[in-house]
Amino acid sequence: MKKFSGKTFIWGLAILLALAPAALAQTKMTAWDGTQWKDLTQELKVAYVLGVGNMASFETAQAGAGQVPCISKAFMDELKTKTVGQVVAEVDKFYNEKPDRAKMPVIEVILQSCTKFCAAPPPAEKKK
């Protein structure tokens, strides 16, 4: 077994410390869009939609009666009438029919149908 000198250790440590910020910068979370979606397997697409469903279910459960976030509730209601496979097929169809929208985040494609159920609240009335 070869022994490393103290100088080699110091140089190795210096290189590691120099490269660490670049590695950490690359771990920044980004939203998946159509360019990544088209390369995913069917299983990963299903897992993605299930993850969105789990998030919506958790948010709905935590909100309490009468305070459920509209988009989460709408998505949960949508999953009562559609299978996860149907949601995946709709996302596939969206990106296939609209290649110019490939940069649109997958989460936005999934939830855009829910937003029609969530009208913006009316503006607050001004007190006189």
Under the banding of pLDDT at 50, 70 and 90, the label for residue 86 is very high
Q: Do residues 47 and 106 lie in contact, with contact meaning Cβ atoms separated by under 8 Å? A: no
Q: Average pLDDT in the 43-48 region?
A: 94
Q: What is the mean pLDDT of the chain?
A: 78
End-to-end CA, the chain:
86
pLDDT surpasses 70 at 72: yes
Position 111 scores a pLDDT of 85
Q: What is the DSSP string of 47-95?
A: HHHHHHHHHHHHHHHHH-TT---HHHHHHHHHHHHS-HHHHHHHHHHHH
pLDDT surpasses 90 at 92: yes
